[in-house]
Amino acid sequence: MAAEIAVIPAVAAVLMAGMWLRQWLIARVSRREDDRPARRRHF
């Protein structure tokens, strides 16, 4: 059952992408509240 084994990394990648996107959105919103150059980080 190679298909079931291949699903696990795909789900992990989606979860990691979702968590990264949420962190990016939180950083974006907090950056808008207090616009200080020290908090600005470019990825």
Residue 27 has pLDDT above 80, yes or no: yes
Dig out the tokens for 30 from the structure. Answer: 């907090």
Rounded to whole angstroms, the Cα distance separating 8 from 23 reads 23
User: Average pLDDT, whole number, for the chain?
Assistant: 82
Helices (H), the chain: 2-33
Query: What is the pTM (predicted TM-score) of this model?
Result: 0.50
Tell me the pLDDT band of 21, cut-offs 50, 70 and 90: very high
